[in-house]
Structure 1
Amino acid sequence: MTGTEPGEATARERSQGLARSLFRVSLPRWRGGRYSLSKLFFNFYLLAMGSFVAIAFTADFVISTAQRGITDDYARRFMRGTITLIEDELFRQPRSTWQKKIKQLDEKFSYRLNIVERITLDAILKPQQVLKLDAGDIAIDHDGDIMYHRLGNSSQVLVVGPLASNRNPELKDRLPLEVRLRLLTWSLTGLIFGIALWFWVRPVWRDLEAIRQTARDLGDGDFEARSPPARSQLFATLSETMNGMAERVQKLLATHRELSCGISHELRTPIARMRFALEMLSATDQPAERERLWEMMEDDLDELDHLIDTSLTYARFEREAPEPHFSSVRFANWLLDEVDSVRLLGRQLEVTVDTSNLPDDLNVDLDRKAMPYALRNILRNAFKYAGHKILVSAEVIDERILIHIDDDGIGIPPEEREHVFSAFTRLDRSRDRSTGGYGLGLAIARRVLELHGGTAIADAAPLGGARFTLAWKVQQ
């Protein structure tokens, strides 16, 4: 019972294939290969570990510098007893034998012992350490990890160190304990971090690869491609956004194809009539006939103008739902005014408005620009098919306002009641010029009701014809 041409499905498939071909030609093809999981993992690993090591070394340097005075005091207290015992042992010996004695003592310690002249240390020690040395305290050379202590009032100085094991010539073949501990710590840290990073990078890589593949399919013209649900929250929003974009593009292309096919089909009839009228106009000299042909062509021009205006309105609603601007109206008065504004189009029809079921002084929120457009389209449709009577009634159910438009026409078969709200859909019996439209009025009405968070439905009317019901919330 629909107005679909026999070859319309085939033409639509050819149009869809042509659109995909044009996109394949016009859009640059993505030639990139697959993302390498190992490359992604190592890039993340090197970046993260490098940053972590740099932060650790920087923090270690800052902390060690800040605590140097504390560690120096601790080292002096720790070594003061040993240095004092060595000093007492030397004082028991003649000063001429101190070098021999210190060599004997040196063999008993794991770090070196030596005696040097005081004057040789001015170029080695910092001024602060020189003052400590002359005051009888222990001076520390941080660069060499060596301690200096002046032996009494003599010009000779006891040299203890280097104290670090890595500077001890006897332990050159052994890795220092500190270095071994650091290597072990960093190795375990790197291993644990690598395992954790792997379990984090793998789902990220899968999501990234899935999004890349979806983008490539879309670039190749497959607008049915969708990104699977993301495994990680990192790309969940991106995946949803891409799918929303793909659905929007697919919908826009479908609307474009629908409008192109529908408008091109609708344009044929008025253009053919105008061509026929022009041929008849050139073949007749009778004023009455020429006047009739001119009126016919003016009607066809009005029909073309109305078709373009309606098509642009439908395209605007399909492309992007306009932002509704709701305002509160006294609903009974508003409904009466809207019906009266199109009552003349009903010719000799009896058009009745019943607001008796509405509460007194009912205010309803609606878009004062869009909702009248929807209501008038439904009324025009009723004017086309009604036999003698049209009844417009309203009621409130569950905080929703319902407008019923009933006619006593031929009605709509149950299997067609949902289909009539699709664009460019008309029943076969509406093909004649007196009642035939473009199949866009009901589609636009439903879009307007969806804009209000409501719906438009078709059913059987108590009068015997069709009932159209517009429903939305009283308060938005």
Structure 2
Amino acid sequence: MTGTETPGGEARPKEHNQGLARSLIRVALPRWRGGRYSLSKLFFNFYLLAMGSFVAIAFTADFVISTAQRGITDDYARRFMRGTITLIEDELFRQPRRDWQKRVKELDEKFSYDLDIVERITLDRTLTPSQVIKLDAGDIAIDHDGDIMYHRLGTSNQVLVVGPLASNRNPELKDRLPLELRLRLLTWSLIGLIFAVALWFWIRPVWRDLEGLRQTALDLGDGHFEAISPPVRTQLFAPLSDTMNSMAERIRQLLATHRELSCGISHELRTPIARMRFALEMLSETTEPDERDRLWAMMEADLDELDQLIDTSLTYARFEREAPQAHFSSVKAAEWLSDEVDAVRLLGRQLEVNVDTARLPENLCIDLDRKAMPYALRNLLRNAFKYASKRITVNAELVGDNMLIHVDDDGIGIPPEEREHIFSAFTRLDRSRDRSTGGYGLGLAIARRVLELHGGTATADASPLGGARFTLTWKAHQ
């Protein structure tokens, strides 16, 4: 049977697991396939957003500054033009009022900007209320839109109009605004070009990293779980790349564990199911009470074996899948060890089981997970019960900062070349594959996972009693 066959012989678990993983990854992937971005499109969108925001901020700041400076500029313009307007006003006052229009036209030919006289009432719709107040108070009112100044001539209803300053007769002032506009356009064009070049060289490696991550995600979604994210060129995506590689590695581990469990359980289920089928066939053919009772007992034992297999497999899968956090609590080492051994002592039948804590300091307290650690110790004891001939010894010692628990038996022992291999799931020594010793090759794997949870390890060696020694090692104080 291959590692992907089910008990019924159908080769489905591997494809089913990979299909499930692909489905989960594709749900998490963005919709790249249907609306794939290009580098130019990403650059263009980002450029418009960044440059548009920059221009909007600049123009807003310019408007705020111009508004704040307008009062200062108006005061300066009034002081600058007050002398000229006063001279024109004095010149007009020397003439009769009926000649003011004629005199203004004569003066208009001598100035580089327009001069005129209008009625006061005509300005109510041209000027703002604040400008009208200044005009009636004898001050100079300035129309910013037309670049025109207004000054009331004495107490009369006549108003002197000076401007617009940028007239045909003042080409320097007339061309000032277009020239300023051209300079602004040129400045902003240069800024936009420089920003575009800088943005291109900045966004190109970012795009390459995004492309690499996208391709890795697509490979994972297509079931190529050996794919890894390429080295990133920018530190911006380094955490995402590491996370994706960790995710891929975790998926590979989960699939390997799932295949391992599926393969191992399929092997283990066949034996008790075959025995039960045989017992049922024999039960239907016999009428002897003793034989029927024996067959019933065999089927009950097989059911117990199936129940234990499922429970042990679920325990192992939980440690492999969830990688739970240890919840440490302090216990008295000698007392805890004796209680745990007593809890499973009856499983040892006629075996002599001794606990030795003489080498531990008196009243020593150690840190452990009181829910997980019993799994490790009890699995080692059950393993010893299967192979011991007469004696089992459990002893503990404190070596430096490490707590060590040894489980020794006087059984067949373990060859040196197999002492590490037996901690893999569903691994058993060839000479142990019989109903008397049984087992599923999961107990020692669970023990090692529990010790890894504690930051320690589980190892196998030769025992002073002649059999095998299993040792649990972890820091006594976490």
Match of 2:216 among 214, 217, 228: 214
Q: Which secondary structure state, in structure 2, belongs to the residue aligned with residue 70 of structure 1?
A: helix
Aligned residue number for residue 316 of structure 2: 314
Cα offset, 1:403, TM superposition: 1.1
Structure 2 vs 1, CA of residues 148 and 463 (structure 1 numbering), >3 Å: closer, same or farther? same
Q: 1:11-410 alignment to 2 at 5 Å?
A: 16=14, 19-20=17-18, 31-32=33-34, 34-88=36-90, 90=92, 98-99=100-101, 102-103=104-105, 105-106=107-108, 109-163=111-165, 176-410=178-412
Q: Which secondary structure state, in structure 2, belongs to the residue aligned with residue 426 of structure 1?
A: coil
2:469 aligned with 1:467: yes
Structure 1 distance, partners of 2:173, 2:211, is 54
Q: Do the aligned residues in 2 keep the contact of 1:162 with 1:168 (CA within 8 Å)?
A: no
Q: Which secondary structure state, in structure 2, belongs to the residue aligned with residue 464 of structure 1?
A: coil
Q: Which secondary structure state, in structure 2, belongs to the residue aligned with residue 224 of structure 1?
A: coil
Which moves more between the two structures, 150-159 or 33-42? 150-159
Q: Do the aligned residues in 1 keep the contact of 2:4 with 2:13 (CA within 8 Å)?
A: no
Structure 2 vs 1, CA of residues 298 and 111 (structure 1 numbering), >3 Å: closer, same or farther? same
Q: Which secondary structure state, in structure 1, belongs to the residue aligned with residue 472 of structure 2?
A: strand
Which moves more between the two structures, 235-244 or 68-77? 235-244
Structure 2 distance, partners of 1:394, 1:117, is 114
Cα offset, 1:271, TM superposition: 0.7
Structure 1 distance, partners of 2:169, 2:321, is 78
Structure 2 distance, partners of 1:452, 1:319, is 17
Structure 2 distance, partners of 1:104, 1:397, is 116
Q: Which secondary structure state, in structure 1, belongs to the residue aligned with residue 335 of structure 2?
A: helix
Which moves more between the two structures, 110-119 or 398-407? 110-119
Aligned length: 471
Cα offset, 1:304, TM superposition: 0.5
Q: Which secondary structure state, in structure 2, belongs to the residue aligned with residue 276 of structure 1?
A: helix
Cα offset, 1:419, TM superposition: 1.9
Structure 2 distance, partners of 1:285, 1:201, is 85
Structure 2 vs 1, CA of residues 79 and 456 (structure 1 numbering), >3 Å: closer, same or farther? farther
Match of 2:435 among 418, 433, 448: 433
CA deviation vs aligned residue, 1:291-337 (integer Å, no higher than 9, x gap): 22111111111101100111111111122123433221110111111
Structure 2 distance, partners of 1:33, 1:460, is 64
Structure 2 vs 1, CA of residues 362 and 187 (structure 1 numbering), >3 Å: closer, same or farther? same
Cα offset, 1:242, TM superposition: 3.0
CA deviation vs aligned residue, 1:403-458 (integer Å, no higher than 9, x gap): 12222333223332222111111121111111121011111111111222222122
Structure 1 distance, partners of 2:168, 2:334, is 98
- Given the two structures, how large is their TM-score scaled by the length of structure 1? 0.88
Q: Do the aligned residues in 2 keep the contact of 1:328 with 1:363 (CA within 8 Å)?
A: yes
Cα offset, 1:32, TM superposition: 3.5
Structure 2 vs 1, CA of residues 330 and 23 (structure 1 numbering), >3 Å: closer, same or farther? closer
Q: Which secondary structure state, in structure 1, belongs to the residue aligned with residue 336 of structure 2?
A: helix
Q: Do the aligned residues in 1 keep the contact of 2:403 with 2:473 (CA within 8 Å)?
A: yes
Cα offset, 1:267, TM superposition: 0.5
Structure 2 vs 1, CA of residues 166 and 238 (structure 1 numbering), >3 Å: closer, same or farther? farther
Structure 2 distance, partners of 1:30, 1:216, is 9
Cα offset, 1:44, TM superposition: 0.9
Q: Which secondary structure state, in structure 2, belongs to the residue aligned with residue 69 of structure 1?
A: helix
Structure 2 distance, partners of 1:208, 1:262, is 41
For 2:432, give the aligned amino acid: S
2:415 aligned with 1:413: yes
Structure 2 vs 1, CA of residues 22 and 389 (structure 1 numbering), >3 Å: closer, same or farther? same
Ranges in structure 1 where 5+ consecutive residues have no aligned partner: none
- Given the two structures, how large is their TM-score scaled by the length of structure 2? 0.88
Which moves more between the two structures, 38-47 or 144-153? 144-153
Q: Do the aligned residues in 1 keep the contact of 2:23 with 2:221 (CA within 8 Å)?
A: no
Structure 2 vs 1, CA of residues 450 and 25 (structure 1 numbering), >3 Å: closer, same or farther? closer
Q: Which secondary structure state, in structure 1, belongs to the residue aligned with residue 350 of structure 2?
A: coil
Structure 2 vs 1, CA of residues 358 and 166 (structure 1 numbering), >3 Å: closer, same or farther? farther
Q: Which secondary structure state, in structure 2, belongs to the residue aligned with residue 403 of structure 1?
A: strand
CA deviation vs aligned residue, 1:260-285 (integer Å, no higher than 9, x gap): 11111100001111111112222222
Cα offset, 1:17, TM superposition: 5.3
For 1:45, give the aligned amino acid: Y
Q: Do the aligned residues in 1 keep the contact of 2:394 with 2:405 (CA within 8 Å)?
A: yes
CA RMSD of aligned residues (A): 3.1
Which moves more between the two structures, 288-297 or 77-86? 77-86
Structure 2 vs 1, CA of residues 360 and 49 (structure 1 numbering), >3 Å: closer, same or farther? same
Q: Do the aligned residues in 2 keep the contact of 1:116 with 1:159 (CA within 8 Å)?
A: yes
Q: Which secondary structure state, in structure 2, belongs to the residue aligned with residue 159 of structure 1?
A: strand
Q: Do the aligned residues in 2 keep the contact of 1:449 with 1:471 (CA within 8 Å)?
A: yes
